[in-house]
Amino acid sequence: MTIPPETEAQFQRRVVQLLETTGHLVYHTHDSRRSAPGFPDLVAARPGSSALFLELKTDKGKVSTAQQEWIDILRCGPNSAHIVRPRDWDLIVRLATGAR
C-alpha cells in the first residue's frame, strides 16, 4: 500500500499546529488574490524570538521568482525566513522550538 503525498493544505495544518503548540501566534492570508505576489504563507511570532516567515511547498512544488525574492529580502534582517517542505520537518521543529 502506498501512502499518498501530503497536500500543501495538510502540511500547513501540521505546521500551524506545531507553531501554536510552541507558543507562536500564526498568521496566514486566506485569500491572497489582492496581496503582493510571493509573500510567504505563514508568519509566526512569540515573545523573545524574531519573526518567522515560512513559504510552504509540497515536495514537488515549485518556488516562484516572487516567493524567492520575498524570502531573500526577509532574511536580510533579524527575521528567520525559509522555504520548507514536508521532508524538512526536523528543521521546522528546530525553528518552532528555538533549538539550534
The H or E element that residue 36 is part of is none
**Whether the predicted pLDDT of 62 surpasses 60:** yes
Whether 51 and 79 have beta carbons less than 8 Å apart is answered as yes
Query: The C-alpha cell of 36 is what?
Result: 503582493
**Whether the predicted pLDDT of 92 surpasses 60:** yes
Whether 49 and 55 have beta carbons less than 8 Å apart is answered as no
3-class SS of residue 71:
helix
Buried b (16+ CB within 10 A) or exposed e, 55-73: bbbbeeeeeeeebeebbee
For the domain that residue 79 is a member of, what is the CATH number?
3.40.1350.10
3-class SS of residue 59:
coil
Residue carrying the nine cell digits 507553531:
19
Does residue 81 form part of some domain?
A: yes
Which structural domain, as residue segments, surrounds residue 18?
8-29+37-97
Q: pTM (2 decimals)? A: 0.91
Residue 31: what pLDDT?
Answer: 80
- Total of domains in the chain: 1
Does residue 1 form part of some domain?
A: no
54 pLDDT band, cuts 50/70/90, is: very high
Cα gap 68→88, rounded to integer Å: 17
